[in-house]
Structure 1
Amino acid sequence: MINSKKVLGIIPARGGSKGIPGKNIIDLAGKPLIAWTIEAAKKSKYIDRLVLSSDDDDIIRVATQCGCEVPFKRPDEFAKDNTPGIDPVLHAISMLPGFDYIILLQPTSPLRTAEDIDGCIEYCMIKQANCCISVTEPDKSPFWMYHINSQGILEPILQTDNEVATRRQDLPVVYALNGAVYVAKCDWLITNKSFLSKETVGYAMSKDHSIDIDSLRDLQLAKLLLDLKV
């Protein structure tokens, strides 16, 4: 709870990953991938209830063993390849009413900490925002990105009046969504049906905490970063 507001934490974990089979429960440094998110969320000062939303019995079993509550099994219609990511979140809100805020924590962000989670919640409150999403500075600036046209000519993605800076420090600071933390007022999210809007504020996280597991290379990088912390 924060400012007398109740906070629901949801970890969405669908079965049937195509890129890495069994991704959500694959081993990372001696723990199932999902365990890292469960442990960080349970250390949060503000999350009143933490639940898993999954259609997969193996994920449910592992999450339960890790201490995450599973009050319902996700219906098949919310677990398809083309299911919008917001649908399981709205389903969870409908199944568990009475909360003021919801925080979405994807299991593919294992290096996100309790401090990142609470920092995003606090920033949402400080800004008096309806929604706050975690972001990080990208490895490559979009000011150095180009299309290649039909003649093979490089055309900048972002058009500017000035010449492109040759030094990174001369470029405008930009941020990319990192998929780690999503916070929103429940009533607002039910109406808006998306965490992203013109009202959404961004909470900056470090690159090291922003690793998103989408490939075996990402998994290896996360393991390396965890090894370096030991």
Structure 2
Amino acid sequence: MPNIVALVTARGGSKGVPGKNLAVIAGKPLVAWSVGAALGASAVTRVLLSTDDPRIADAGRAAGAEVPFLRPPGLARDDSSLLPVVLHALDWLRGDGGHEPDALLLLQPTSPLRDARDIDDAAGLLSATDDAVVGVCPTHHHPLLVQRIANDGRLERYVPAGSDYPRRQDLPPAYALNGAIYLIRPAALREHGTFFPPRTRAYVMPPERSLDVDEPWDLHLVRLVMENPAWHPRLSRSPGARSVLGTPASSLRKPA
């Protein structure tokens, strides 16, 4: 089993949902759900929190994470991407922390429905010849059905297709990143500068564990699910893994 360090990224500023990382859901701040999932995973050897906010740092420590540093302000702006934030943590691990892990698991607090078994299952997919594993879910809006509005107001296909599909069931399977899991080998991250290097596997998660808190409506939906007495995190199992192509790191633009 490789040495996997989990890194939870949670900055203080949030425009879409102000203070979202400290928003209380089912009795816990949002950030605590990701920390708890990492602590419960047998594949994870260490859980770090990267934040610029002392209040989030306190919440992370209370949940059981290590908070050995506060993130520099330059890595906590609205336009900050995940890549330099993760590299900053890896540099700390290689320097003050003593060593760099075999793999780093990036966990965003905005995916509170991802749990410890998802982490362990994803880690089990990372073979000796793989560079990374990322979480995906079946896309609700299939790319062959997505439309765009032209300058004259008329609808046209966003993705050109050679034929029409009369039924949704006839469409080829399509998946979208769900933001829940990014597991990558540090050497591959440094070499390729992306969380999706060429040898990346997909960990497929169901929609009910793929909710992503990005807007107030998302937070409302997550509260409806997690504060429902009938809710259980293992609503369904993941169907397996598939290979996915590398994608530029610039595609990860959500502030970390």
Under TM normalisation by the shorter chain, which class is it?
over 0.9
After TM superposition, list the pairs within 5 Å mapping 1:32-51 onto structure 2.
32-51=29-48
Query: 1:105 and 2:107 equivalent?
Result: yes
Is 1:27 matched up with 2:24? yes
The residue identity in structure 2 corresponding to 1:161 is G
Verify: 1:138 aligned to 2:135, yes or no.
Answer: no
Moved more, 186-195 or 171-180: 186-195
Q: What is the aligned partner in structure 2 of residue 93 from structure 1?
A: 90
CA pair 114-75 structure 1, distance change in 2 beyond 3 A: same
Q: Report Cα offsets for 1:154-203 as digits up to 9, x if no partner.
A: 2111212112x232111111000000000011111122221023332211
Alpha-carbon offset, residue 153 of structure 1: 2.5
Question: In structure 2, the residue corresponding to 1:95 is in which secondary structure?
Answer: helix
Moved over 4 A (4+): none
What fraction of aligned residue pairs are identical, expressed as a percent?
A: 38
SS at match of 1:9: strand
Structure 2 residue aligned with 1:198:
198
The alignment status of 1:207 with 2:189, answered yes or no, reads no
In the alignment, is residue 13 of structure 1 matched against residue 10 of structure 2? yes
Amino acid at match of 2:16: G
Deviation at residue 71 of structure 1 after TM alignment: 1.1
Distance in 2 separating the partners of 1:219 and 1:166? 35
Counterpart of 1:181 in structure 2 is 181
Query: Does residue 170 of structure 2 align to residue 170 of structure 1?
Result: yes
Shift of 1:124: 2.0
Q: CA RMSD in A?
A: 1.4
Amino acid at match of 2:178: N
TM-score normalised per structure 1: 0.93
Counterparts of 2:198 and 2:149, CA distance in 1: 31
Which shows bigger deviation, 10-19 or 197-206?
A: 197-206
Aligned pairs, number: 225
- TM-score normalised to the size of structure 2? 0.84
Between the aligned partners of 1:177 and 1:202, the Cα distance in structure 2 is 9
In structure 1, the partner of 2:152 is: 151
SS of aligned partner of 2:178: strand
User: C-alpha distance in 2, partners of 1:31/1:168?
Assistant: 39
Structure 2 residue matching 1:229: 3-state secondary structure: coil
